[in-house]
Chain A
């Protein structure tokens, strides 16, 4: 192998490099070519470097992959663990990175057949978009319905359905249009793509040959839409969509109060020691919305009425900002001396309703240990962890029919509804409107493992809805 490093002689400068980040996940069924599609995206966007490709080509040849096409097994690019290569399956979510001129991408490649709900929930929780694969020869399967159902539940901003192996149906427009119609029908049943909440796009592709993956294909002249990568390059990220629409939410991670123990490098660089003697700021990541100096904010702490004060400074490592927005990590200074600690939330004044200890939620159960009524768990919401008692399991979603069935427990890969009583009130918000402050973890108090992804539902008291009448 050569140690020569190719150098670009001209034309490349830092300013022209990718400027925004976009996270997406893939979801598919067994053998629908998902790993091949991921490999194709990485390969054609030139994210695979020569030594990695050499290794994949050698292994492909060893295994006689490719048949008459004599190609390389692109799936080998994503299967990272020894057991995965030995068994030819993907076990765990793998993260891959590539960039185009317009964007840097983080790809969560979620296995389709082992614990698909767990993996899809995990990948979708941080994704701006999810690519769902359908085999053109098979059409919409039960698992497709399950995937779309999970994506609707997690409120993924953009769903892209890639109808793969279009080459194996002779690039038939009719096959594609039929599948497209089926997908739209499922989406309507789910409410996916309605109300402008999520985009739903359907793209015909051949991952093996590259049609409509990076470049538009001449073999699908009836398809006039963009190639998959073009879609991913142009969709707005979830934070871009929401920062201007949602109200400011800032869970306090910790209080920065150096009391004279200032960073020596900052002092050496001229920090005014006297001015920073009584410095006190609240550090955290803005989870939703934006904040400006001068804004009125409410401080939400358990055992207190919300207290209102004014933002007098937004600091970031020595810079004073006039405003900041999700997902920036900053430190906020307030006008009034208020007792604020980790776990408290700073929010736009008057936009947070009363905290509650009654939690109504959808739970995606991710553990082999089942959930039972009467069980004690921990709930981590924002920067606060509280104890909780599972009062009722109120139903389980049949992901294939979208019906809610009666249930009294939840098992691995189930999605259901439950009612929990918390040991301290939390500023819970409906996940439908608040992707961050409506999300929580359910944790096993004994071994500390994560049991479930939780999505806050409305408090029954807020509804004039007969479903909630006691």
Chain B
């Protein structure tokens, strides 16, 4: 893994502060009579709505989503002092990193990546993470769930999944590194709580999300102001669907960990999912181990992520499969989201992504 610091080397002329100092703004108001204008009296000039669709300026939906994401990534880099990108090696974070390389081309991505290692990760995903960081010359910051468990600051759950345990090491890494903005690959189509998430989402001193008290998000003007101790989670691909992600991966020829594509694997059935056999995912005596052709739709921990039966060996195959799927990706493959109807909302309120 690469540990060189590159954040300062790419000189982005973001400048001191984009807040102007006050000038002669005061004391001018007195003595003026008030203009009384009707809001609706001015008639705008014609824009010709309803004109035939078509025209040379049409962008594809992927181009529009890409452009929106790059705009958000650049806004966050310009307005925050120390952003970082949460990188798990999963497809959404890989797409996020790809978008960041496009946003700053030909310069390096000007922020480090942060990974919360649960100790239950698939080994090939960790390997992919390290190769990616090396290839792009990025700094990698790792928060370790295992270290917290070893120190007695976190306890293993009865069900063995470590996904909900990520929150504490995540908040610790954010605080220790003084990250004031953290990019995530969260998408609103993933979950009904995430459907209410803002693109720039304020977190309080405890990392908590307050879904009932969110800032309105208007036009493409993002308000990232925060006070000391608060930080912001930024979700540039909020508006992408699972299918958008896969079509983009296909179009941009983006490399992913191999387990996203169909492969032979030793699995056993549990909770209606195919679970991989591994050190942290051992079958019980009554659970029969069989070899199946599977792939993963999401990549979380070995201990909570299920595989789906699939013969989609290429990205084009996966695009077809996702387009025709009758189950949501989380419903199909994530034990952590089946805990309750509001499992994601509860984790997000505590500071999870």
> B25 contacts which chain A residues (CB < 8 A)?
357, 387-389, 421-423
Partner of A448, one of B66, B227, B272: B227
* Minimum CB distance partner of B216 in chain A: A122
| Per-residue contact bits, chain A 379-394, to B (CB 8 Å; 1 contact, 0 not) | 0101111111101101
**Mask for A249-263, Cβ within 8 A of B = 1, else 0?**
000011111110111
Report whether A239 and B57 are in contact in the complex, using a CB–CB cutoff of 8 Å.
yes
**Chain A residues within 8 Å of B273, by CB:** 3
Selected from A3, A95, A153, A325, the residue in CB contact (under 8 A) with B40 is: A153
Which residues of A in the span 298-319 have a Cβ within 8 Å of any Cβ on B? 302, 315-318
Which residues of B in the span 257-309 have a Cβ within 8 Å of any Cβ on A? Answer: 272-274, 306, 308-309
Q: Given known contacts A80-B192, A94-B195, is B40 in contact with A450 (CB within 8 Å)?
A: no
Contacts A236-B49, A325-B57, A421-B29 given; indicate if A49 touches B325 (C-beta within 8 A): yes
- Number of residue pairs spanning A and B whose beta carbons lie under 8 angstroms apart: 419
A55 neighbours in B (Cβ, 8 Å) = 341
Whether A397 and B39, one on each chain, are in contact in the complex, defined by CB atoms closer than 8 angstroms, is: yes
Q: Say yes or no: B36 contacts A395, CB within 8 Å.
A: yes
Residues of B close to A264: CB separation below 8 A: 108, 135-137
A453 lies within 8 A of chain B by Cβ: yes
Whether the pair B219, A467 counts as a contact (CB closer than 8 A) is no
Docked-complex contact A470 and B39, CB < 8 angstroms:
no
Using an 8 Å CB-CB cutoff, how does the interface string of A91-109 with B read, 1 for contact, 0 for none? 1111111010001101000
Min CB distance, A15 to chain B, in Å?
Answer: 11
B104 interface contact, C-beta 8 A: yes
Chain A residue nearest to B15 (CB atoms) is A341
Minimum distance in angstroms from B202 CB to a CB of chain A:
8
Could you tell me which residues of chain B, from 171 to 200, have a CB within 8 Å of some CB in chain A? 188-189, 191-193, 195-196
Contact assessment for A255 and B13 in the assembled complex, using a CB-CB cutoff below 8 Å: yes
Beta-carbon contact of B74 and A329 below 8 Å: yes
Q: What CA separation (Å) do A256 and B110 show in the bound complex?
A: 11
Q: Tell me, rounded to whole Å, the shortest Cβ–Cβ distance linking A81 to chain B.
A: 5
Contact assessment for A391 and B28 in the assembled complex, using a CB-CB cutoff below 8 Å: yes
What is the CB-to-nearest-CB distance from A426 to chain B, in angstroms, rounded to a whole number?
Answer: 9
Which residues 100-125 of A sit at the B interface, judged by CB distance below 8 A?
103-104, 106, 118, 121-122, 125
Given the known interface contacts A196-B50, A387-B25, the answer about A448 and B244 at a Cβ–Cβ threshold of 8 Å is no
Q: What's the minimum C-beta distance from B149 to chain A, rounded to whole angstroms?
A: 29
User: Chain A: interface secondary structure?
Assistant: mixed
Interface residue A327 (Cβ < 8 Å from any Cβ of B): yes
Query: Given the known A-B contacts A118-B216, A255-B13, are A3 and B308 also in contact in the complex, defined by CB atoms under 8 Å?
Result: yes
| Given A8-B320, A197-B47, A436-B219, CB of A328 within 8 Å of CB of B39 | no
**Is the C-beta of A351 less than 8 angstroms from some C-beta in chain B?**
no
Which B residues are CB-close (under 8 A) to A417? 35, 37, 39
Q: Are A50 and B12 in contact (CB under 8 A)?
A: no
B3 within 8 A of A: no
- B341–A380 touching, CB < 8 Å: no
Q: Do residues B50 and A261 form an inter-chain contact, with CB atoms below 8 A?
A: no
Beta-carbon nearest neighbor of A392 in chain B: B34
Segment from A16-24, A64-72, A169-177 that makes contact with B: A16-24
- Among B29, B189, B241, the residue within 8 A (CB) of A392 is B29
Chain A residue with the shortest CB-CB distance to B69:
A329
A121 and B218 in contact (CB under 8 A), knowing A318-B106, A392-B29?
yes
Residue contact A258 to B28, C-beta cutoff 8 Å = no
Instruction: Specify which of A50, A326, A373 is in contact with B327 (CB 8 Å cutoff).
Output: A50
- For residue B339, CB closer than 8 A to chain A, the reply is no
Q: Is B141 on the interface with A (CB-CB < 8 A)?
A: no
Do A386 and B19 touch across chains, with their CB atoms under 8 A apart?
A: yes
Contact residues of A between 253 and 285, Cβ < 8 Å to B: 253-259, 261-266, 268, 271, 276, 279, 283-285
Q: For the complex, is B321 an interface residue (Cβ under 8 Å from A)?
A: yes
Query: Do A380 and B332 contact each other (CB < 8 Å), given the known contacts A55-B341, A258-B11, A264-B108?
Result: no
Instruction: Indicate if the CB atoms of B345 and A82 lie closer than 8 Å.
Output: yes
Q: Inside 8 A of B36's CB, which chain A residues have their CB?
A: 394-395, 404, 467
Q: Which of A254, A423, A447 has the most CB of B within 10 A?
A: A254
B44 CB within 8 Å of chain A: yes
A318 / chain B contacts, CB cutoff of 8 Å: 105-106
B152 close to A (CB within 8 Å): no
Partner of A20, one of B61, B135, B189, B333: B61
Complexed CA–CA distance, A92 and B59 (Å): 30
Contact with B along A413-439 (1 / 0, CB 8 A): 001010101111000001011011001
Asked if B126 CB lies within 8 Å of chain A CBs, one says: no
Interface range on chain A (Cβ under 8 Å from partner):
35 or more
A378 partner, pick from B19, B49, B274, B328, beta carbons under 8 A: B19
Known: A257-B13, A397-B39. A80 touches B193 (CB 8 A): yes
Q: Are A125 and B218 neighbours in the complex by a CB distance under 8 Å?
A: yes
Q: A14-B247, A264-B137, A342-B18 are in contact. Are A240 and B323 (CB under 8 A)?
A: no
Q: How far is the CB of B106 from chain A (nearest CB, A)?
A: 5
> Does chain A have a CB within 8 A of B158?
no
CB distance from B240 to the nearest CB of A (A): 8
Of residues 320 to 358 in A, which have CB atoms within 8 Å of B's CB atoms? 325-329, 331, 341-343, 357
A197-B212 in contact given A386-B19, A470-B32 (Cβ < 8 Å): no
* A449 smallest CB distance to B (angstroms): 6
CA distance A234 to B52 in the complex (A): 9
A341 to B18, CA, bound (A): 9
- Chain B residues closer than 8 Å to A315, beta-carbon distance: 105
- Whether B320 and A3, one on each chain, are in contact in the complex, defined by CB atoms closer than 8 angstroms, is no
Q: Is B319 an interface residue (CB 8 A)?
A: yes
Residue contact A80 to B325, C-beta cutoff 8 Å: no
Question: How far, in whole Å, are A459 and B37 apart by their CA atoms in the complex?
Answer: 11
Is A241 within 8 A of B47, CB to CB?
A: yes
Q: A5-B310, A6-B324, A155-B44 are in contact. Are A253 and B13 (CB under 8 A)?
A: no
Query: Is B238 an interface position by the 8 A CB rule?
Result: yes
> Contacts A8-B323, A55-B341, A264-B136 hold; do A152 and B40 have CB atoms under 8 A apart?
yes
Residues of A near B193 (CB, < 8 A) are 80-81
When the two chains form their complex, are residues A195 and B136 in contact, meaning their CB atoms are under 8 A apart?
no
- Within the complex, the shortest CB–CB distance from A55 to chain B, in Å, comes to 7
* Nearest CB in chain A: distance from B102 CB, A: 4
A199 near B49: Cβ-Cβ < 8 Å: yes
Measured between beta carbons, the chain B residues less than 8 angstroms from A49 are 325-328, 331
Q: Which chain A positions have C-beta within 8 A of B75?
A: 253, 383
Q: Does A228 contact B (CB under 8 A)?
A: no
Chain A contacts for B44, CB-based, 8 A: 155, 195, 197, 432-433
CB-based contact B20/A386 at 8 Å: yes
Inter-chain CA distance A467–B328, complex, in Å, is: 57
> Which of B6, B106, B306 has the largest number of chain A CB atoms within 10 A?
B106
Asked if B13 and A20 sit within 8 Å, CB to CB, the answer is no
- Known contacts A49-B326, A448-B227: A195-B195 contact under CB 8 Å: no
Nearest chain B CB to A456's CB is how many angstroms away? Answer: 11
When the two chains form their complex, are residues A389 and B26 in contact, meaning their CB atoms are under 8 A apart? yes
8 pairs of residues in contact across A and B, judged by CB atoms under 8 Å: A3-B273, A4-B309, A49-B331, A94-B196, A328-B67, A341-B13, A432-B45, A470-B33
Given contacts A91-B196, A326-B57, 5 further A-B contacts (CB under 8 A): A6-B324, A12-B323, A196-B47, A384-B20, A386-B20
Pairs of residues from A and B, 9 with the lowest C-beta to C-beta distance, nearest first = A448-B225, A80-B192, A51-B331, A258-B107, A317-B102, A255-B13, A391-B29, A261-B9, A243-B57
